[in-house]
A and B are shown apart, each in its own frame.
Chain A
Amino acid sequence: MIPVQLASFFTAAALILIGIIGVFFIDNLIKKVIALSFISDGVNLFLVTLGYKPGGIVYIYMPGMSSSWFAQNASYPLPFALVLTSIVIGASTLAVMLAIIIILYHRHGSLSSKILED
């Protein structure tokens, strides 16, 4: 069986690659946005995987836990904190892009990326 962490790294790489191919080779603007979200999701998955600890626990100190046991078993919290922020930023960027696409669709009646050419 492939270890979870390794499988996650491969999935993240696949998401990033599919996203990059989609952004540059798909004509439809909405699909391009979806491809962009693939890239950012791939990077987020990579970050989450970095913080993964086999058999580890969530980094929340609960009553009754000894501090040394907690330190040995808790997963690394920094990547998760980064991913949270990254998701928020990614969502706002996608929202702006989709809003512009809606306006361009109303103006040009098309979702083809050819409308972006001068």
Chain B
Amino acid sequence: MKSLIALMVILPILCGLLLNLLHKKDKTIKILALTVAIILPIIPLIASYGAYYFGGYPPIAENPTIAKYLPAYITGSYLVKFHPAITYIFTSAQRIFIFILGIIAFFAIFTSLNEVKKPSGVYSFLMFMATAAVTAILLTDDMFNLYVFFEIATISQAGIILSSNIKGSYKMALRYLFLGGVAAPMLLLGVALLLGVIGNVNISDMVFAMRNGLIGQGNPIFLTAAGLIIFGWLYGSGLPPFHTIKSGLYSKALPHAASLIQAFSVFTLAALGIIILRLFYYIPVVRWAIIIFSIAGMALGISMAIMQTDFKRLIGFLAVGELGYIGIGLGLGTTMSITVGLFQAVNEVLVTACLFLGFGTILYQTGISEIDKLGGLLRYRPGVAGLMILAGFIMAGIPPFNVFQSKLMLIESAISAGFPELAIIMILLSIVTFMTFMKAYYSIYLKPEPRGLEVKAERIPSSTIFSMIILLVICTILGILPQLATSQFGSIIHGLL
């Protein structure tokens, strides 16, 4: 069943390519896209844990037949442990991440196919390609492979924005690509520096070389590589200085696409964050850099959200602000904080996807995204308004939901790590998040309806409401039983510290 590990990436790529070829064959596109979207979250549940070697070459040490014939100077050295093939590693942590990514991708594709009579094969192709790219980023143990899929994810996300046909989407996509054109080569330069120092691009080999004293941890080239990779991480995740472009990207996407793109950002943050920790854990300045950028992300994201008059940008900035909690968890570097940081990543993906889908319902009803021009929507679809307030409560960290659990545990881990200041910042920013959301909610749903506002409540597709309910149910289950997620991260943290 280890071949299923590769299938998690290959299947969406193949499906995407087929959908591209089948453009304009509407019925076939719908059936194929939905079938593969249903399969995507199932594969990680049935796949076996382990490593998959592309090319079929495990490290020589794992193949006694080959190892037996090697000269003693090779078998006695670290060379026998090196990975000659691109390696994908699948553990329980990857299982939960890819399962959640699959669910979000399914809802995004399901909702997009339900919204239109004539589905676009190209649009579905882009969503599948981006999903495949982020899945590969989560699985890969190879730095160059990570760079390749990082670029594919960037182009696919720009393509999704271009396909949205929202005013200003072309400009936003170009700006995103321009910044990506700087950030991705910087990431590659970091990989190249590591290659120059270590001689390989496999992450496990790099970690092995470092921890066995083959290269000095204070090597300036190594520190430069850390800086460049962190720069790429900031771009991929949308932390400052890229918070404005990321929230802009969300605002120019269709609601279901925004829910998917934010999942890409969060999982890229978590996956690259773990790789940075694996490589540079013993350099304190790296962990401090992660914490500082995370606090900046929280503060800038939430303070900019307060100023927004467009609810799509507001949710975009709130999503960026929430990323900071994950970063703080990773940056603190304790077993508990990393576990909770990863748990927060799962929670944030779920609740932010729900909020983006929920705000999509406002667009379906009114076609307006400016908060000042809206009001009184509660009386049209009170059920949807109820789902929205529930999602807002979850994001702010109201008990007994999942985000409450992860934020509480993050505060505890900050205090136990000796940083009560961080705990205070997190509490204050959670309160501001709640107030910002409630202000927008009041303006949209509770305030008297402005004159001339045309509302068509029947336009909300049932697929959107179904997706929101399921996401909220998952949030509630994870809130009541957080160990369902937290117990899965031990495998990735084991060996990290």
Residues of chain A at the chain B interface (Cβ within 8 Å): 16, 20, 23, 29, 32-33, 36, 39-40, 42-43, 46-47, 50, 76, 78-79, 82, 85-86, 89, 92-93, 96-97, 100-101, 103-104, 107, 115-116, 118
B:188-226 near A, CB below 8 Å: 188-189, 192, 195-196, 199-201
Is the beta-carbon distance between A36 and B174 smaller than 8 angstroms? no
Residues of B with C-beta under 8 A to A16: 185, 189
Is the beta-carbon distance between A43 and B185 smaller than 8 angstroms? yes
Is the beta-carbon distance between A92 and B174 smaller than 8 angstroms? no
Measured CA separation A46–B225 after assembly (Å): 13
Residues of B with C-beta under 8 A to A43: 185, 188-189, 192
- Quick one: which of A20, A47, A93 contacts B180, CB cutoff 8 A? A93
Is the beta-carbon distance between A96 and B185 smaller than 8 angstroms? no
Q: Which of B168, B174, B180, B201 has the most CB of A within 10 A?
A: B174
Measured CA separation A79–B135 after assembly (Å): 25
- Quick one: which of B148, B158, B188, B201 contacts A96, CB cutoff 8 A? B158
Measured CA separation A56–B159 after assembly (Å): 43
Q: Is B155 an interface residue (CB 8 A)?
A: yes
Measured CA separation A26–B155 after assembly (Å): 23
Residues of B with C-beta under 8 A to A79: 192, 195
Q: List 19 A-B contacts (CB under 8 A).
A: A23-B178, A23-B181, A33-B181, A40-B188, A43-B188, A43-B189, A50-B195, A86-B188, A89-B148, A96-B155, A96-B177, A97-B174, A100-B173, A100-B177, A104-B170, A107-B170, A115-B171, A116-B171, A116-B174
Q: Given A78-B201, A101-B174, does the pair A89, B151 have CB atoms closer than 8 Å?
A: yes
Measured CA separation A12–B283 after assembly (Å): 28
- Quick one: which of B155, B162, B196 contacts A50, CB cutoff 8 A? B196
- Quick one: which of B144, B155, B162, B170 contacts A93, CB cutoff 8 A? B155
B132 CB to closest chain A CB, in angstroms? 15
Is the beta-carbon distance between A82 and B158 smaller than 8 angstroms? no
Residues of B with C-beta under 8 A to A93: 151, 154-155, 177, 180-181, 184
Q: Is B477 an interface residue (CB 8 A)?
A: no
Q: Given A23-B182, A93-B177, A96-B159, does the pair A50, B189 have CB atoms closer than 8 Å?
A: no
Is the beta-carbon distance between B148 and A39 smaller than 8 angstroms? no
Q: Given A101-B174, A115-B171, does the pair A85, B148 have CB atoms closer than 8 Å?
A: yes
Residues of B with C-beta under 8 A to A33: 181
A-B contact number at CB 8 A: 81
Residues of A with C-beta under 8 A to B173: 100
Q: Is B373 an interface residue (CB 8 A)?
A: no
Interface of A is mostly: helix
Is the beta-carbon distance between B195 and A40 smaller than 8 angstroms? no
- Determine the residue in chain A with the shortest Cβ distance to B169: A100
A67 CB to closest chain B CB, in angstroms? 12
- Quick one: which of B144, B182, B184 contacts A82, CB cutoff 8 A? B144
Measured CA separation A116–B302 after assembly (Å): 25
Residues of A with C-beta under 8 A to B201: 78, 82
Q: Is B175 an interface residue (CB 8 A)?
A: yes
Residues of B with C-beta under 8 A to A82: 144, 192, 195, 201
Closest 4 CB pairs of A and B: A36-B181, A43-B185, A100-B174, A89-B151
Residues of A with C-beta under 8 A to B151: 89, 93
Q: Which of B154, B177, B180, B201 has the most CB of A within 10 A?
A: B177
Measured CA separation A46–B186 after assembly (Å): 12
- Determine the residue in chain A with the shortest Cβ distance to B143: A82
Residues of A with C-beta under 8 A to B148: 85, 89
Measured CA separation A7–B89 after assembly (Å): 39
Measured CA separation A68–B158 after assembly (Å): 49
A89 CB to closest chain B CB, in angstroms? 5
Is the beta-carbon distance between A100 and B162 smaller than 8 angstroms? yes
Is the beta-carbon distance between B181 and A40 smaller than 8 angstroms? yes
4 further A-B pairs in the complex, CB-CB below 8 A; given A86-B188, A93-B184: A33-B181, A40-B188, A43-B185, A79-B192
Q: Given A46-B192, A78-B201, A85-B144, does the pair A100, B178 have CB atoms closer than 8 Å?
A: no
Residues of A with C-beta under 8 A to B159: 96
